[in-house]
Structure 1
Amino acid sequence: MIKKILITGGAGFIGSNLALKLTGRGYIITVLDNLSEQIHGSDPENTSPLYKSIKDKVRFIKGTVTSREDLEKSIEGQDAIVHYAAETGTGQSMYCIEKYTEVNVQGTALMLDILVNQKNSVKKVIIASSRSIYGEGKYEHPELGVVYPSHRTEEEMLTGNFEVRYKDNQTLKLLPTSEDSKIHPSSVYGITKQNQEQMIMAVCPTIGIAPVAFRYQNVYGPGQSLSNPYTGILSIFSNQIRNHDGIKIFEDGKESRDFVFIDDVVDATIAGIENDNANGEIFNVGTGVATDVMTVAKTLIDSYGIDVPVTITGNFRLGDIRHNFADLTKIKSKLGFEPKFDFKKGIKQFTDWVLQQDIQENKLNDSLDEMKAKGLFK
């Protein structure tokens, strides 16, 4: 019987939404979170909407997963752990390597070390994995069938050739990534998420704890950070539009992602907590639909009713992938999960919420300058 649940990183976007829905279902929630300035701002206790949304509804511990003391205090008495605490920017991970590894890998290792070596009541651990572990994903070659292309090279992209091709230069057909697809991340962030997932799936069964991994696609919705320039294309574009700065699109605008609405992600995660069919399994969580970046930009402009120029720059970030969308066959069959929000419906709720928020400073150029100085933005 799972009653008490620890959510690490539970004041973040996904974690806070999950915490609120779980408390509504009668669970007793503990949140461990360091209230990172990058996500919550400089005065989070007073100004972070995400933190304030859960403040009086959960037991809150301000701390970090890199502290044994904080983790031990948080884990005591828990029946389950949902492990969200992580650094999450793909581009940023390529130059903040020690920080991403310390939080994502070492933080997970420390949690597992406590679970293995100290008495506890934890019965299940849910790990937030990521579509980033698939790297450039799964394709169909006209002669060879299913193939997994290598990462795109800087030399190719400098010529304006952004599509993924196989080593014989054949044009490939994009396929949805299923859970048995090849794991070959192209960023430090992706590598750390792969490492988190593999450690939890390997260690937990040895101590009688059921592990569940969810490979989330691009999660969005009301409440996500509008000020973090390192992650969240919908927030970044929204800031550009509302500041009348115009949208600058990388590559050729045809790169695509699977955008999954926050409510669907929360529902899938709760199914993993409550359904024993999830135990020991890995699941994709998405919509199963790829939406290209140009469509995203035009949809947001229409939704806000603010006409700004859209410029395709041809710039690119090393470590970014070209396409990815999820094969949902497994999660539908094992957990009965069906996404309720398509892109059009989700974007309407997202933009209606954004229009009620203060206009945020557009900090994208600062983050790009950091990447450019490291030779990672071209």
Structure 2
Amino acid sequence: MGKTLLITGGAGFIGSYLADQLLEAGHRVRVLDNLSPQVHGGDCERPAYLTDDVELVRGDVRDPDAVQKALEGVDGVYHLAAAVGVGQSMYQVAEYTSINNLGTAVLLEALIEKPVERLVVASSMSIYGEGMYRRGDGSVVPGMRRGREQLKQARWELVDGEGRALEPVPTAEDKQPDLSSVYALSKYDQERLCLMIGEAYGIPTSAMRFFNVYGPRQALSNPYTGVLAIFASRFLNGNAPMIFEDGLQQRDFVSVHDIARACRLAYDTPAAAGQVFNVGSGNAYTVREIADRVGQAMGKDIAPEITGKYRVGDIRHCVADIGHAREVLGFEPQVRIEDGLAELVEWLPSAVAVDRVGEAGQELARRGLTI
């Protein structure tokens, strides 16, 4: 028999796909979402992509009354509600801390009074800071944060004590966090709070560390959303993608379909309780390569603009080691980057894409957050 499941932030990009998969599996889905204008546009109406079978409770996760209303008759919770964006978090400190940290605390206080059978929380690869690296002698070490002087000189790569470049390798869940942005700090706080309260009150809890998620329904007018959506928005408006540093930084891009499936697996797998999982593709792509792939898929012959600047809070390389999710959850990415990009491009003509990347960049520069 199906369960009644709540998704906080469920009217957004990832939450809507998770809702689709849960409905397909026979569950009833309720969503708590404040329909933020930065994500959903100025009219803040129920998004057309949100399936009619989804019950929408419009409210803020920081509002105890809204949370208690959303939890009525619920068997389990997916906590996805969050303000997203490394750059913006570095000057909207109170806003990010309030939504992500306080919002999670309000939800957890409600769950203490009304426990559920499972809790799955969305975390982020941003908590790692730099990924893992291999030195010339073959040993693997965590990447150290790059210094301001190094960045001013456009020496982008991490090096060992003798100045030799380190080789990036996949990053596993046991890497010590290095919280280099307010966003990263808030996501780590969300993750730890949920796991801590879950253990204390007997609510089996799992944290999912998402890598760079892409796919249709992403907010193309939000300049702080995923880089792949930002590139698509720039191309749609006839503008060149803007790339920080030299564009050779490596990231792991994973389809939203795979992200939703991993979340569903975490809920359905008893052994996942109390654990954290990387959710990525396990493949490394440079940011410049992704810009080229998006342009080719869209039929846009516009060369990216390599700014040669560093954005405070950014890291050089980080790619997911997904071995733990494979072993415990049986998770295996199913969407190839070529197929995922084709699906995204097919969706783009129906999307609204106001290019705000330039003004976002100016705001960061004005505040001294680019070097």
DSSP-derived class of the 1:6 partner: strand
Aligned to 1:370: 363
Per the TM alignment, residue 79 of structure 1 is displaced from its structure 2 partner at its CA by: 1.0
Aligned to 1:40: 40
Per the TM alignment, residue 167 of structure 1 is displaced from its structure 2 partner at its CA by: 5.4
Distance (Å, rounded) in 1 between the aligned partners of 2:54 and 2:232: 31
Alignment-mate amino acid for residue 37 of structure 2:
E
C-alpha spacing 1:170/1:125, structure 2 compared with 1 (3 Å): same
C-alpha spacing 1:60/1:313, structure 2 compared with 1 (3 Å): same
**Aligned equivalent of 2:181, options 182, 187, 193:** 187
Alignment-mate amino acid for residue 363 of structure 1:
R
C-alpha spacing 1:257/1:63, structure 2 compared with 1 (3 Å): same
Quick check: 279-288 or 151-160, which moved more? 151-160
Mapped pair 1:290 → 2:288: no
Identity %: 39
- The within-5 A match list for 1:162-181 is 162-166=156-160, 169-181=163-175
The answer (yes or no) to whether the contact 1:257–1:291 under 8 Å persists in 2 is: yes
**Aligned equivalent of 1:231, options 219, 225, 229:** 225
Distance (Å, rounded) in 2 between the aligned partners of 1:124 and 1:309: 47
C-alpha spacing 1:153/1:2, structure 2 compared with 1 (3 Å): farther
Distance (Å, rounded) in 2 between the aligned partners of 1:147 and 1:247: 33
Aligned to 2:249: 255
C-alpha spacing 1:191/1:358, structure 2 compared with 1 (3 Å): closer
Distance (Å, rounded) in 2 between the aligned partners of 1:76 and 1:39: 26
Aligned to 2:8: 8
Aligned to 2:267: 273
The answer (yes or no) to whether the contact 1:71–1:111 under 8 Å persists in 2 is: yes
Distance (Å, rounded) in 1 between the aligned partners of 2:242 and 2:104: 36
TM-score norm. by structure 1 comes to: 0.94
The answer (yes or no) to whether the contact 2:2–2:28 under 8 Å persists in 1 is: no
Alignment-mate amino acid for residue 368 of structure 2:
G
Distance (Å, rounded) in 2 between the aligned partners of 1:2 and 1:132: 34
- The within-5 A match list for 1:1-378 is 3-45=3-45, 51-54=47-50, 56-116=52-112, 118=113, 120-143=114-137, 145-166=139-160, 169-354=163-348, 356-358=349-351, 360-378=353-371
Distance (Å, rounded) in 2 between the aligned partners of 1:34 and 1:287: 30
DSSP-derived class of the 2:216 partner: coil
Distance (Å, rounded) in 1 between the aligned partners of 2:115 and 2:304: 54
Alignment-mate amino acid for residue 346 of structure 1:
G
Alignment-mate amino acid for residue 26 of structure 1:
G
What is the CA deviation profile of residues 133-177 of structure 1, one whole-angstrom value per residue up to 9, with x for unaligned ones?
110111122348222232222221111111123455442121111
The answer (yes or no) to whether the contact 1:78–1:121 under 8 Å persists in 2 is: no
Structure 1: 5+ residue stretches without partners: none
Per the TM alignment, residue 305 of structure 1 is displaced from its structure 2 partner at its CA by: 1.2
Distance (Å, rounded) in 2 between the aligned partners of 1:164 and 1:264: 31
DSSP-derived class of the 1:104 partner: helix
Distance (Å, rounded) in 2 between the aligned partners of 1:183 and 1:166: 20
Alignment-mate amino acid for residue 242 of structure 1:
L
Distance (Å, rounded) in 1 between the aligned partners of 2:59 and 2:160: 46
Over the aligned positions, Cα root-mean-square deviation in angstroms equals 1.6
Per the TM alignment, residue 2 of structure 1 is displaced from its structure 2 partner at its CA by: 6.8
Per the TM alignment, residue 277 of structure 1 is displaced from its structure 2 partner at its CA by: 2.2
What is the CA deviation profile of residues 43-95 of structure 1, one whole-angstrom value per residue up to 9, with x for unaligned ones?
121xx6xx222262122111111111111111222111100000010111111
Between the two proteins, the alignment pairs up a number of residues equal to 371
Distance (Å, rounded) in 1 between the aligned partners of 2:51 and 2:4: 17
